[in-house]
Amino acid sequence: MCMRVHQRVLRCMHACARVCLQVVDDILDCTQTTEMLGKTAGKDVDVNKTTYPKLLGLEKSKQVGGGCMDVAVGGFWRVGEEIKQVGGGPPQVECAAPV
């Protein structure tokens, strides 16, 4: 796999991981207590925010979150293994977000 392909794959995997984290955050907001979360539970519902559970229901949201995580982890693993096989260093990926 060439470096440009690695970059595209990593960007895709990053996007999947971000979706997964958002789904999990949405699920926790509607299933956990304020004490458990360390922030106000149910806030998304209170402000009528569009969330994955609101759009898809809780069970389908869990499936989407799990599927996104499987894709993200599998992709990162695959790219890492391919880089090790060719003896290259880590791919150079531009970060759009400030670090």
pLDDT class for 53, splitting at 50, 70, 90?
very high
Whether residue 11 is predicted with pLDDT greater than 70 in this model: the reply is yes
Domain ranges of the chain: 3-86
Q: How far apart are CA 63 and CA 41, in angstroms?
A: 22
12-35 residue pLDDT tens: 788 888 889 999 999 999 999 999
Percentage above 70 pLDDT, the chain = 74
pLDDT tens profile 66-95: 888 887 777 777 777 766 776 655 545 444
Q: Is the pLDDT of residue 98 over 60?
A: no
CA distance 29 to 41: 5
Place of tokens 């790219």: 79
What is the per-residue pLDDT for 75? 72
User: Is the Cα torsion angle 28, 98, 47, 15 positive or negative in sign?
Assistant: negative
Place of tokens 């003896």: 87
Higher pLDDT, 14 or 39: 39
6, 79 contact by CB (below 8 A): yes
C-alpha distances (whole Å) from 76 to each of 13, 15, 45, 84, 90 are 7, 12, 34, 12, 11
